[in-house]
Amino acid sequence: MSGGGAPATQLTPADGPKYWSRLAISFFGIMFSFILYGLVMEYATSGGRKLHELSLIFVTSSIYTSTAYAGKTVRNEAPTTVPTYKLFFVAMLSMGSTFFSVRSLRYVIFPVQVLAKS
């Protein structure tokens, strides 16, 4: 990988329909993903079902890693200059957050959890 592709340009409202359409796609994509995630998490933890938190973390981490690698490859991004120990620290915080978030679903329903986080 050569890295260092052309820098992405930042769209502004002055760019007109292209800006607004990308904003709408991003907004609705994020909202759809959160709603779907909430429904799946509520289903996975209701009716006496137990969700193994570590299994969920490893599966989602694998999906995130694959997605990040594909995005990095498609966009021809240069390697990061952030030290590895800092990336490791952020990754551990993210995994801890996911673990405790899923663990709390044993005691609190997902919509209440979302409201408490906001």
Whether the per-residue pLDDT at 8 is higher than 90: the answer is no
CB distance 113 to 105 below 8 Å: yes
Mean pLDDT of the chain: 84
Distance, CA of 49 to CA of 47 (rounded, Å): 6
Predicted confidence band of residue 1 (pLDDT cuts 50, 70, 90): very low
Tokens coding 118: 């906001």
Nearest to 111 by CA among 14, 46, 21: 46
Distance, CA of 74 to CA of 70 (rounded, Å): 6
105: left (phi over 0), alpha (psi -120 to 50) or beta: alpha
pLDDT tens for 30-83 read 999 888 888 887 787 777 777 788 888 888 889 989 999 998 999 888 888 999
Predicted TM-score (pTM) of the model is 0.60
What DSSP element (H or E) covers 22?
A: helix 17-45
pLDDT of residue 5: 54
pLDDT of residue 4: 53
